[in-house]
Structure 1
Amino acid sequence: MPSLDDEIGIGRVLSALEDGVFSEAELEQARKQWAAASSRSPFPVPRSRSTPVIGITGTGGAGKSSVTDELLNRFLASFPEMRIAVISVDPTRRRTGGALLGDRIRMNSLRSHRVYMRSMATRRQHSATNVVLQDSIAFLKGLGFDLVIVETAGIGQSDSEIVDLVDFPMYVMTSDFGAPSQLEKIDMLDFAELVVLNKYDKRGAEDALRDIRKQWKRNRVAFQMKDEEVPVYPTIASQFNDPGISWMFANLCRLMREKAGTGNGEQGTWGTPGCDWAPEIDTSLKEPRATVLIPGSRVRYLAEIAEQGRAINKKIESESEVADRAQSYWQSLRDLEDPALPEQLALYPSSSLLPPAGEGARRADEGSSSPDANAEAEAPHPSPLPQAGEGVDSRVRGNDGVDRTLLTLRQRYNDAIQSLSSDALRLLREWPDRLKSITDEVNEYQVRGKTIRVENYRESLSHLQIPKIAAPTYRSWGELLVFLQKENLPGHYPYTGGVYPYRRTGEDPIRMFAGEGTPERTNRRFHYLSLGQPAARLSTAFDSVTLYGEDPAERPDIYGKIGNSGVNIATLDDMKKLYSGFDLCAPTTSVSMTINGPAPMILAMFMNTAIDQQVEKYLREDESRWTAAQAKIDKLFEGKKRPEYSGGLPEGNDGLGLALLGVTGDQLVDAETYARIKAETLKTVRGTVQADILKEDQAQNTCIFSTEFALRMMGDIQQYFVDHGVRNFYSVSISGYHIAEAGANPISQLAFTLSNGFTIVEYYLARGMKIDDFAPNLSFFFSNGMDPEYTVIGRVARRIWARAMRERYGASARSQMMKYHIQTSGRSLHAQEIQFNDIRTTLQALYALFDNCNSLHTNAYDEAITTPTEESVRRAVAIQMIITKELGLNYNENPWQGSFIVDKLTDMVEEAVYQEFEAISERGGVLGAMDTMYQRGKIQEESLYYEHRKHDGSLPLVGVNTFKGKDSEVATEIELIRSTPEEKGQQIENVRGFQGNRNPIGEDALRELQATARERRNVFESLVEAVKTHSLGQISHALYEVGGEYRRNM
């Protein structure tokens, strides 16, 4: 017989059983051998029967694999010596004879060497088990596994075959069983010793729990039992560290303990195995929904935002008509030379709405004391407007023959003005001053107490004065009001034209994406891109090893990817090298990091890098301090190899950040000084981390932690920012770019991105944060392709976001301003005739700049084939610079405003987004739609539609399917950028050196991190300390062990 660690040998025996290799005589002999082996207990306590077997069965799609995985996680964590075997049975299809055998994909616990799993097909119809399952169980028990778990295929109401094969049957179900009477037909409710009601976050789950518990009592005639004592447990197995699963696990162990032995000397069903079945697990929370992300009362948030947006648009149209009516009355009164005519949009006083005394028009109460003029103005005044059916003459002439034309027009004018909202009146009344501010030669305004002075015109070579902001020329109050409420000037709500009044003059929106090989190699590329630029805007691409939270290693699936298509970062020292020579606290430095799964760890490294830079600057300010610090570093590395920057420093790199390689600032300065520098750094540092796990699940796939746990860490980061006053760093870049790159059209990209943003807002609010504490730390990231909708993607996004922030959430003006980055479409780049790609990128950049994006990355023409070269990157930067510095129309900063097609597109895309919001809301919001893979399915359909039209030629692509050159089919030979074996080896050596030097300093850091995750404290707070002494892979695996790993779909 093979040993427990001989997985190949175990697999061969199980395959031989399935294939019928053994004769009946051989099989009988083997059964005796297995039985004898299983009777010999390796434990001090004898057992009359061998390894216990848990059977998990249930309806298809109930979450059996997820429940099994969560149980395995808890068994492994609670019983460190336990060895477990899992048999997972999948149905064989009757028509094809095939079986999916995909349950192992859902089980993250299989990475443990203490778990052996075998997938089996039923190999027969109308059954949830395999014919050799009993022999397979006996074989695994004979090997000495402490526990065997059997998961069956999905079953129907009358199936209970598993009961005859296992010691402890469990039944997993959901609330989708129909009417309560259907429970009478479920055979397993008679035999299961424990029932799991999974997916408890679904609607109707509470009623289902009540009905199942009633049925369980009825089946066993146990009506006196309390509900909480009935072994029916609600769970949400897809949720990290689910309290329901923990409560169920604790009771499963209790029931197993009772079956193993009564505790008073009597023998139970089986002897005590290699554990005491008494786990130390926190069961203070029993309700799965105690940790739900979005409260049930708020799940319609997207539909409500859509309803609110449409209502605002309808109100604007209505108020526009009223404003036009008011203007027509005012103009008529002006033409009639009304002596009491007020200023435009001002009201007539009440006294001007009454006939003059002495003209025969007396009030009914003539002779009584006249009311005070002020009181009269405040009192409601009966309108002289005619009733239905009155003639024209009666409308303007009273019974006494007095002409009331002016009085009627005045009253109608007043009524129209008073029908306008206060906001509409304010906008119209302020317009003349605002118009003057953008048409005068110079505009002065205040920002945070500072006077900003801007020249409103740029002179062309023809000596024309080109306005920076082109003012609308509407004469109609209604048209002007529509403009002010739907568009407005840049820098004014709803920010359709842009969030700032003017573009920055000292800092172009250029932010180029770079990352390749080692940190040193990417650092050199950063300095190349920044050389001669007034500001350093660094956008960082990471390799797939980093994106998936692993350390560089010789393992084949890791080694080949080290440093390819991005920079490899595994330690704090790597981060210090990457940004060396850039003062991360300088107002001209801003860093963007495109990373999602391990974003909290990478961000913690970045913050420590910025802090240590400032510690280094502090030490260098005083020669004695610096000398003492160097002596301390030398002593720490006595007899050890000190980390260093490999190769020479590039031009522009002054070495800032490299002096503290291998150490951290808190080792070199006193605690008070370190705390002060840390606090100042956190309040100063500028940048963005992507950290958008929602779009990863929907489109890009670099998920390493469960969605719930990843969102929790996103919330922990933002809470840390709130607690430490981090104002200039964006805690998340809510990204649509990768949704578009996966195949979504521009409307789906925009709708999914905004819906993800509002989901994060709702989650942060549910955590108790205030809207204005976190909304300014949110940023967005969109793609710009060639489709017409990309012309207005930023305009629509800013409008929808600003309205929702103000009207739904009551946010401040700063929170209403959506800031976003644009990257030109990578999907629109083609490997055929790649020289045409620069033309596409130029047009996309024009879209973005004319729409007032906050930063822009232009793709290099060769990105369709390889990581960009220095030459191609320089051309990509030149595209932006030519537009911003040479293109004359770009002198103007609101070129889209006033265009009929742009206005029409804006309204069309806005309505399309609202429709998508409603579709997502019908599926339970973003998280509910993700459960059914709605977003992923829609992206795939739209991608297929694009590819189909590209290949059949109905979507013309120049150089690809039309206007093809003679050599268009011949691939252009260009250099492929790849990391070298030397660079890969350097990274592997560096991470091992870091672990050897730093791990002993923080021996308890990982245990503290795990405890923080289990106890639901702020994980990012612990990560800031953990990254000082442990590598990325060590931290990722430590968090996996506490149950936070992403569970993949097929």
Structure 2
Amino acid sequence: MRHPQPTTAPQPYRPQHHVRIVTAASLFDGHDAAINVMRRLMQSSGAEIIHLGHNRSVAEIVDCAIQEDAQGIALTSYQGGHVEYFKYMIDLLRERGANIKVFGGGGGTILPTEIDELHKYGVARIYSPDDGRAMGLQGMIDDLISQCDFEKRPSDFKGLLKQPLPREPERIASLITIAENFADAGEELRAALKTAVADAPRVPVLGITGTGGAGKSSLVDELVRRFLADFPDKTLAVLSVDPSKRKSGGALLGDRIRMNAIDNPRVYMRSMATRQSNLALSRHVAHSIEVCKAAGFDLIVVETSGIGQSDTEITEHSDVALYVMTAEYGAATQLEKIDMLDFADVIAINKFDKRGSLDALRDVKKQWKRNHNAFTLADDAVPVYGTIASQFNDPGMNTLYRAIIDALVKKTGATLDSRFQLTPGMSEKKWIIPPERTRYLAEIVDACEDYDGFVRAQAAIARRMYQLHGTIQALRQNVGKKKLEIVEPKSADDVVQVTERVEGEPAYLGDLVALYQDLESRLHADCRRLLAEWPATKKRYAASKYQFQVRDKVIELDLISETLSHLRVPKIALPKYEDWGDILTWLLRENAPGAFPFTAGVFPLKREGEDPARMFAGEGGPERTNKRFHYVSRGLPAKRLSTAFDSVTLYGEDPDHRPDIYGKVGNSGVSIANVDDAKKLYSGFDLADPSTSVSMTINGPAPMLLGFFLNAAVDQQCEKWIRANGKVEEVEKKIEALYQERGLPRPRYQGELPQGNDGLGLLLLGVSGDEVLPADVYAKIRASTLQAVRGTVQADILKEDQAQNTCIFSTEFALRVMGDIQQYFIDQKVRNFYSVSISGYHIAEAGANPISQLAFTLANGFTFVEYYLSRGMHIDDFAPNLSFFFSNGMDPEYAVLGRVARRIWAKAIRDKYGGNDRSQKLKYHIQTSGRSLHAQEIAFNDIRTTLQALLALNDNCNSLHTNAYDEAITTPTEESVRRALAIQLVINKEFGLSKNENPNQGSFIIEELTDLVEAAVLNEFRAISERGGVLGAMERMYQRSKIQEESLYYEMQKHDGTLPIIGVNTFLDPKGSPTVTPPEVIRATKEEKDYAITARDAFWKRNAKTAPAALEAVRRAALDNGNVFGALMDACKVCTLGQLSRALYEVGGQYRRNM
């Protein structure tokens, strides 16, 4: 038998020159999965990759590419605005005379006509989905690298050395490239550089080295930030070295991704590959240092790649050497082997929050004393410092920075007169989760498994009781009965004798009764109660009406519906079990909807008159989205609005004329920059009405958007009070007087009000209620509004760090403000609004499978629980304000995702945290999978969405958003949105089985899947717990890595057809299944963009006098450990989103990207 020969994959293109490529995702775009796959392939093909990560402006990328002297820039753009973005990049490159090619991709979001337009403008290549299918991933990479495979050598490099050599990035970059790439010019260059710097002042060089993973890049970034603040007129250059791959020759030059402070005209940075194995520095670093000295920088920082114990090469190139390590070096005797402890001028023990760091500080100081024979030196004088570079304004980093500057001055005589103020004390971690609580997920697993063991044991007792009960009953049925006994004759002469006997109890019956009573005593009281109530429970659900209580309201709903065939279909169908063990198992593991453990749902019955459908909108300016909201909610009794924001808003910035911002204003979401925008957006909807709820898909800047929304809601109710009390004319005069005094026009709603909009919310446009109403009246209205308003804000910063990347603040600060929001909700009795929507949707969209989505999301939820408890909040005060948000895809696990989530949450909250019935109820929103929408055969997308919606509704989700079929290629049109909403309406109103509200219960496969998925989730909890809980796992990039692995697995199966996708890789149209160009493309208009910027400017002018004090109050609340959200609520009245973001960056720190 012949075996098939294995096929060898085609070899990737190998460049002939040292190809350097800058990779990034575009501004306000967190979709970095694709660019991460691409940059890995480029690296393995032999290119040197300078990876910047997500959310990068055109100027940042162009500056980087010029400083790095790259041949190419490779970008992904999935958030719209791509035409303006790429054209702006070409314009900036042309302005600076840079010979750098630009490549890009964006799936179906970049239309074929736009690709042609960009190619004509000068973009080298935009890769489309059709290119991907035709060329494959490696084929696209080969094409890109081959176009970048050219020599970057100036014709006259001597001309670059003309005196004096200014700090021009282009010239500096070219000179370093010459040193790196052209050995024939090396000696001549060296001689010329020596002449150039001969009479120049001495430039100090700080060398930074350390073990891999010690956090050198973050520490360098923090040193640069402090240097720039300390010396407003000084400049510095950073030379950062990373290792080359021995096999491919490629390199990942990844230090820039961790740097926030280098985006400054006073900083030059160059990333270098070692281009040799087993060394931490490039052989050309000396030349590069000389180039930077000749350019006249005030300080040069050289950072090596990770080193071993015996490497001290950095000391040959630096005046002051800093060695960065962590506490994870092994036994104390290992310190004797580290040569840098002999040669380093300063030592930093970074990641000082890790266990054992205090011991490490003591041991390293001892070793330093031994090495320097300085046994009598006081410990405080030993130059060893504990630092937490990842923590904003870390005291240890402040001390380290000052020690380095002092050492540089002492050794070189540099004019670095530091005025940097030291923060007293050592580095001390500001814990989100206290160290003693990091095993919380393992404890939750134990609680769930203990409960399941309890169920099995109790069910076994109940089953034996049922069996004994039946036996005893059967035996007792014969007691007292008369029985004829016939005595057969012993001989022919005897007669047949018949006697009558009364049946008595058998002797062993008492033993059976005793055994039954013993089992009954071992049956838990709650289990006895459940079994005793079971007949009444069945009777209650067999009735025509059902009554239950929600808070203070008694609700009565029908339990029976009648079909066209006049059959009576129950809303809740109960099992027909007789065995007490089966009944008890069902009651303890399933139960009816609304009963613990809430597997089938958290409410007894669905709310009538309010379907779970959410009306999703977000495009252009607030007026256009307001019009869409009124369109999609027309004729519906409940207004359940879901808001999508444009990427400018998602990243906490204001609209602006700068092209890379301008192109994204109002695209793929609504542009909201201030409270007046929020008032227009929700005008005509009574935000305090019980039938109105608003969901806001916003994360990084969620505190500010929530502030805008709540202030808009309060001012609506102020308006209603004004109208009800006949004060309209009086208030109008006050507002006119205010604007006459300011000399500015009043803001207005642009255009006519849409059908259904009565103008509610627009009377106080441009002012706050407290400016026109008495203080006591305003306070009363404000309190009652906050207690009435319904909705949710996403605000889940953990999943942003793990998956979606719309983080803008440091993670610790963002979590602190989330806690401030929840505390504010408790203080103000905000009970109907969810302070966070703990989201798995974006984890799934980033590529996670359903198990990981559910496990990561629940783990994040329990992390918030632990954090809020550590702040002193009571579980029952905040748990009802938590909600969840999941994706529903095509995988079988999605059929039980809600069941598993509710069951795990209920068990953990009751048995681990002691929460009450309301706290145990997990409420969640479902959005059908965006990832399952395909740009090919888009009409098939509605089929997928319908199946996903059916699963969600069968599983009793609390709200549902169905995607429009054309979202793979454009912002949905009115026609596609109407079809998406019709999917839910058809299921809810027409589909007969939907008249029953627990259709999943009783299915063997559903029960089996539920158990399998729950076990898998608990196993994932164990894995996260072993890594120090959610935050510890995030530090190790565990969640992000797992998501990327699962995403790649899906893409590979999709690509090779192992995973069939109809119309994409199978069942293709005979005419072909190309990417579909939509008949109508929704984009923000030029008028909308310009108006957004005009409205921003007008808001700034109106509040120019009051905004500075409000911003300072926000900063002070952050610095003084006050409630930041409380200060934001006031500041949101007079400040724009961008102003508030910048103020919080100053006191909370910006998000630092990860590789």
Q: What is residue 428 of structure 2 aligned with on the other side?
A: 288
User: What CA distance in whole angstroms lies between the structure 1 residues aligned with 2:401 and 2:943?
Assistant: 64
User: What CA distance in whole angstroms lies between the structure 2 residues aligned with 1:12 and 1:480?
Assistant: 79
Q: CA deviation at 1:323?
A: 0.4
Q: 1:712 to 1:640 in 2, by over 3 A?
A: same
What's the CA shift string for 1:130-152, capped at 9, x where partnerless? 45544544554565544433222
User: What CA distance in whole angstroms lies between the structure 1 residues aligned with 2:1011 and 2:708?
Assistant: 43
User: What CA distance in whole angstroms lies between the structure 2 residues aligned with 1:4 and 1:731?
Assistant: 53
- Map of 1:423-462 to 2, 5 A cutoff? 423-462=526-565
Aligned residue among 446, 449, 455 for 1:310: 449
CA contact (8 A) 1:338 1:406 kept: no
- Map of 1:563-642 to 2, 5 A cutoff? 563-624=666-727, 626-637=729-740, 638-642=742-746
Q: What is residue 381 of structure 1 aligned with on the other side?
A: none
User: What CA distance in whole angstroms lies between the structure 2 residues aligned with 1:470 and 1:725?
Assistant: 38
SS in structure 1 at match of 2:1135: coil
SS in structure 2 at match of 1:711: helix
Q: 1:449 to 1:639 in 2, by over 3 A?
A: closer
Q: What is residue 458 of structure 2 aligned with on the other side?
A: 319
- Map of 1:813-962 to 2, 5 A cutoff? 813-962=917-1066
Structure 1 runs (4+) deviating above 6 angstroms are 2-5, 20-23, 338-341
User: What CA distance in whole angstroms lies between the structure 2 residues aligned with 1:949 and 1:258?
Assistant: 57
Q: What is residue 505 of structure 1 aligned with on the other side?
A: 608
Aligned residue among 640, 661, 674 for 2:765: 661
User: What CA distance in whole angstroms lies between the structure 1 residues aligned with 2:714 and 2:287?
Assistant: 62
Aligned residue among 198, 208, 219 for 1:56: 208
Aligned residue among 168, 173, 190 for 2:325: 173
User: What CA distance in whole angstroms lies between the structure 2 residues aligned with 1:911 and 1:530?
Assistant: 41
User: What CA distance in whole angstroms lies between the structure 2 residues aligned with 1:318 and 1:681?
Assistant: 50
User: What CA distance in whole angstroms lies between the structure 1 residues aligned with 2:412 and 2:763?
Assistant: 63
User: What CA distance in whole angstroms lies between the structure 1 residues aligned with 2:407 and 2:326?
Assistant: 27
Moved more, 582-591 or 634-643: 634-643
Q: What is residue 4 of structure 2 aligned with on the other side?
A: none
SS in structure 1 at match of 2:1104: helix
Q: What is residue 100 of structure 1 aligned with on the other side?
A: 252
Q: CA deviation at 1:971?
A: 4.6
Q: What is residue 1096 of structure 2 aligned with on the other side?
A: 991
Aligned residue among 879, 893, 905 for 1:775: 879
User: What CA distance in whole angstroms lies between the structure 2 residues aligned with 1:914 and 1:811?
Assistant: 20
User: What CA distance in whole angstroms lies between the structure 2 residues aligned with 1:231 and 1:996?
Assistant: 51
Q: CA deviation at 1:308?
A: 2.3
User: What CA distance in whole angstroms lies between the structure 2 residues aligned with 1:1038 and 1:117?
Assistant: 27
- Map of 1:175-194 to 2, 5 A cutoff? 175-194=327-346
Q: 1:675 to 1:168 in 2, by over 3 A?
A: farther
Q: What is residue 778 of structure 2 aligned with on the other side?
A: 674
What's the CA shift string for 1:149-204, capped at 9, x where partnerless? 32222222122222243333211112232332221111111122321112234344
User: What CA distance in whole angstroms lies between the structure 2 residues aligned with 1:806 and 1:910?
Assistant: 17
Q: What is residue 544 of structure 1 aligned with on the other side?
A: 647
- What are structure 1's unaligned runs of at least 5 residues? 39-49, 261-267, 342-400
Aligned residue among 413, 416, 423 for 2:516: 413
Q: CA deviation at 1:765?
A: 1.6
Q: 1:474 to 1:654 in 2, by over 3 A?
A: same
Which letter maps to 2:898? Answer: G
CA contact (8 A) 2:244 2:251 kept: yes
What's the CA shift string for 1:522-576, capped at 9, x where partnerless? 1111010111110111111111221122222232322222211111122222222
What's the CA shift string for 1:295-348, capped at 9, x where partnerless? 22222222222232222222211211110111222233333339999xxxxxxx
Does residue 810 (structure 1) correspond to residue 914 (structure 2)? The answer is: yes
Q: CA deviation at 1:750?
A: 1.0
Q: 1:166 to 1:948 in 2, by over 3 A?
A: closer
What's the CA shift string for 1:372-407, capped at 9, x where partnerless? xxxxxxxxxxxxxxxxxxxxxxxxxxxxx9965333
Q: What is residue 13 of structure 2 aligned with on the other side?
A: none
Q: What is residue 75 of structure 2 aligned with on the other side?
A: none
SS in structure 1 at match of 2:752: coil
- Report the TM-score when normalising by structure 1: 0.87
Q: What is residue 36 of structure 1 aligned with on the other side?
A: 199
Does residue 1002 (structure 1) correspond to residue 1144 (structure 2)? The answer is: no
User: What CA distance in whole angstroms lies between the structure 2 residues aligned with 1:402 and 1:435?
Assistant: 34
What's the CA shift string for 1:788-828, capped at 9, x where partnerless? 21111100100000000001111111110000001111222
Q: CA deviation at 1:499?
A: 0.2
Which letter maps to 1:283? Answer: P
SS in structure 2 at match of 1:999: coil
- Report the TM-score when normalising by structure 2: 0.80
Q: 1:428 to 1:671 in 2, by over 3 A?
A: same
What's the CA shift string for 1:108-129, capped at 9, x where partnerless? 1122334332323345554433
Q: What is residue 747 of structure 2 aligned with on the other side?
A: 643
Q: What is residue 405 of structure 2 aligned with on the other side?
A: 256
Does residue 119 (structure 1) correspond to residue 271 (structure 2)? The answer is: yes
SS in structure 2 at match of 1:89: strand
Moved more, 326-335 or 509-518: 326-335
Q: What is residue 382 of structure 1 aligned with on the other side?
A: none
Q: 1:468 to 1:227 in 2, by over 3 A?
A: farther
User: What CA distance in whole angstroms lies between the structure 1 residues aligned with 2:211 and 2:612?
Assistant: 55
What count of residue pairs does the alignment treat as equivalent?
967
Q: 1:92 to 1:894 in 2, by over 3 A?
A: closer
Aligned residue among 224, 246, 262 for 1:110: 262
Q: CA deviation at 1:511?
A: 0.4
CA contact (8 A) 1:580 1:657 kept: yes
SS in structure 1 at match of 2:1105: helix
Which letter maps to 1:481? Answer: L
- Map of 1:375-390 to 2, 5 A cutoff? none
Q: CA deviation at 1:476?
A: 0.9
Q: 1:99 to 1:967 in 2, by over 3 A?
A: closer
Q: 1:798 to 1:723 in 2, by over 3 A?
A: same
CA contact (8 A) 2:388 2:396 kept: no
What's the CA shift string for 1:869-902, capped at 9, x where partnerless? 1111111111111111122211111111111111
Q: CA deviation at 1:66?
A: 0.4
Aligned residue among 721, 739, 743 for 2:825: 721
Q: What is residue 70 of structure 1 aligned with on the other side?
A: 222
Moved more, 222-231 or 579-588: 222-231
Q: 1:662 to 1:280 in 2, by over 3 A?
A: farther
CA contact (8 A) 2:739 2:745 kept: no
Does residue 1037 (structure 1) correspond to residue 1142 (structure 2)? The answer is: yes
Aligned residue among 686, 696, 718 for 2:800: 696
Q: CA deviation at 1:450?
A: 2.9
SS in structure 2 at match of 1:463: coil
Q: What is residue 522 of structure 1 aligned with on the other side?
A: 625
Moved more, 811-820 or 1034-1043: 1034-1043
Which letter maps to 1:249? Answer: N
Which letter maps to 2:559? Answer: N
User: What CA distance in whole angstroms lies between the structure 2 residues aligned with 1:538 and 1:611?
Assistant: 18
What's the CA shift string for 1:578-622, capped at 9, x where partnerless? 111111111111110111122122112112211222222233333
CA contact (8 A) 2:548 2:604 kept: no
Q: CA deviation at 1:103?
A: 0.9
Q: 1:645 to 1:248 in 2, by over 3 A?
A: same
What's the CA shift string for 1:935-977, capped at 9, x where partnerless? 2222222223323333333333333333333345255442121
Q: 1:832 to 1:145 in 2, by over 3 A?
A: closer
- What are structure 2's unaligned runs of at least 5 residues? 1-162, 481-503
CA contact (8 A) 2:718 2:769 kept: yes
User: What CA distance in whole angstroms lies between the structure 2 residues aligned with 1:994 and 1:339?
Assistant: 91
Task: State, as a whole percentage, how many aligned pairs show the same letter.
Answer: 59
Q: 1:115 to 1:719 in 2, by over 3 A?
A: farther
CA contact (8 A) 1:234 1:288 kept: no
Aligned residue among 482, 491, 498 for 2:585: 482
Q: 1:1014 to 1:80 in 2, by over 3 A?
A: farther
Which letter maps to 2:894? Answer: Y
Which letter maps to 1:561? Answer: K
SS in structure 2 at match of 1:641: coil
User: What CA distance in whole angstroms lies between the structure 1 residues aligned with 2:186 and 2:453?
Assistant: 80
